Amino acid sequence: MGILQRVSPTIFRYKGYRFFFFSREETRTHVHVMSADGEAKFWIEPVVALAENYGLKATELKKLHQVVEEHQNEIKQAWKKHFES
């Protein structure tokens, strides 16, 4: 596994978006979503909520919020696996 994957593991991809997190960031469970157009950060707990947005449109954010909600168990499992190792 390369250093980028260890520090910034990809959880999954959806269309043109990469869902990932940074290993050396805050401890509250969250996910970053990046595309060619920008990046957003969503809190996973206590509820899925937009934390930050850099360049993504409101329509994109609405859809991405839905995708994060649908995959929140997968995100939590990836988070737990990564930080327990």
- Supply the range of the domain harboring residue 26: 3-84
Could you give the number of structural domains in the chain? 1
pLDDT classification of 65: cutoffs 50, 70, 90: very high
Can you tell me the mean pLDDT for 40-65? 97
Do residues 35 and 18 touch, judged by C-beta distance below 8 A?
yes
pLDDT tens digit string along 75-84?
A: 999 998 887 7
- SS3 sequence of 22-85: CCCCCCCCEEEEEECCEEEEEECCCCCEEEEEECCCHHHHHHHHHHHHHCHHHHHHHHHHHHHC
The pLDDT of residue 3 is 39
Is the full-model pTM beyond 0.85? yes
The pLDDT of residue 1 is 45
